[in-house]
């Protein structure tokens, strides 16, 4: 009966069915859609730059000219959140994409070839794993001066090792499967085997952990901005929290709303990641639902 659940003929229905069975995942996906829409229509909702002073400073939420209040210089918090969503999502997605590229490439090579290559790649990976993530990211951004590119690269560089290990494990176990042996004996090249035979079969866990990695990347970006290492030209949630921390007792809303935005986005991404896990790895899904 488990076999029926993973048959690709009903893959469409099966995938959404399994995903939708996880209520949290559906809520997460709905919320994520909302954030994406907010980011997409930020220019329509708040045509002015979020850096513009549009209201009196220290306006509390629900005042006439600022829905969520204004900050110490009279900038609209709501506009900051809408525009900040762009930065968070952009950095979250691109840095994850770069990390997936590096991680899967190294993991695939390591797991497929094994032996010396594997030793070499894995020692290299461990080198990165022994350095605390955040410290390395701070150092990298500080050296390369804060900009969108340097932040994306710094986050990618600190987050690829777990993906490399995951991809390596998948490749190692699939490497010894009979269909891969069959591909070898029918004369297919190593590249074809990696690309067409093994990779499609190892994607599910990679997709799941990548979706969770987007959340971590957003947190990392917020932390960097909080420390003042964000791109100075871009309004971001982390910067807003950081800038407002000195006045948190007089004006709670300045750090509260961006903080909530970070919390909800990360939570939504985690819920979606868990839903993907249930849908893509039905064998590991929690018992008692089939």
Separation CA 10–CA 6 (nearest Å):
8
Locate tokens 């549009």: which residue?
54
| Of the residues 44, 47, 115, 185, which one makes contact with another protein according to CB under 8 A | 185
Q: Which of 44, 186, 283, 286 binds another protein (CB under 8 A)?
A: 186
Nearest of 281, 265, 290, 202 to residue 21 by alpha carbon: 290
Angle between helix axes 115-130 and 148-175 (nearest 10 degrees) is 140
Closest approach of another protein to the CB of residue 204, in Å: 11
CB of 179 to another protein, least distance (A): 4
Kindly tell me which of 23 and 177 has the beta carbon lying closer to another protein.
177
DSSP-based three-state secondary structure for 52: coil
Residue located via tokens 């029926």: 4
Of residues 196 through 225, those in contact with another protein by CB under 8 A are 196-197, 200-201
Span of 40-48, 99-107, 108-116, 185-193 interacting with another protein by CB under 8 A: 185-193
> H or E element: which one contains 264?
helix 253-280
Site string for another protein, 141-180 (x = CB under 8 A): ------------------------------------xxx-
188 binds another protein (CB under 8 A): yes
Output the smallest distance, CB 287 to another protein, in A: 11
CA distances from 26 to 82, 206, 280, 289 (A): 23, 20, 15, 17
> For every residue of 234-254, which 3-state class applies, written as one string?
CCCHHHHHHHHHHHCCCCCHH
Residues that bind another protein (CB under 8 A): 1, 3-4, 7-9, 177-179, 181-189, 192, 196-197, 200-201
């Amino acid at each position: 009966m488990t076999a029926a659940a993973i048959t690709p003929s009903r893959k469409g229905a099966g995938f959404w069915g399994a995903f939708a069975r996880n209520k949290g995942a559906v809520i997460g996906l709905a919320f994520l859609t909302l954030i994406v829409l907010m980011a997409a229509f930020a220019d329509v909702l708040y045509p002015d730059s979020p850096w513009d002073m549009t209201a009196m400073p220290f306006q509390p939420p629900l005042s006439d000219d600022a829905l969520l209040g204004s900050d110490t210089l009279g900038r609209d918090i709501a506009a900051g959140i809408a525009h900040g969503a762009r930065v968070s999502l952009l950095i979250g997605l691109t840095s994850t994409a770069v990390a997936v590229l590096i991680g899967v490439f190294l993991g695939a090579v390591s797991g497929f070839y094994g032996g010396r290559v594997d030793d070499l790649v894995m020692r290299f990976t461990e080198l990165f794993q022994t350095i605390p993530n955040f410290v390395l990211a701070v150092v990298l951004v500080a050296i390369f001066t804060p900009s969108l590119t340097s932040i994306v690269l710094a986050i990618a560089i600190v987050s690829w090792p777990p993906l490399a290990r995951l991809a390596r494990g998948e490749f190692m176990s699939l490497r010894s499967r009979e269909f891969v042996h069959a591909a070898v004996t029918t004369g297919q090249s190593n590249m074809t085997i990696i690309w067409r035979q093994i990779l499609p079969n190892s994607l599910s866990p990679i997709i799941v952990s990548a979706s969770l990695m987007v959340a971590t990347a957003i947190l990392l970006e917020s932390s960097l901005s909080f420390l003042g290492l964000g791109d100075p030209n871009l309004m971001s949630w982390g910067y807003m929290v950081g800038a407002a921390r000195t006045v948190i007792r007089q004006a709670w809303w300045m750090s509260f709303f961006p903080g909530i935005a970070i919390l909800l986005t990360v939570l939504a991404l985690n819920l979606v990641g868990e839903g993907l896990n249930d849908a893509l790895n039905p064998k590991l899904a929690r018992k008692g639902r089939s």
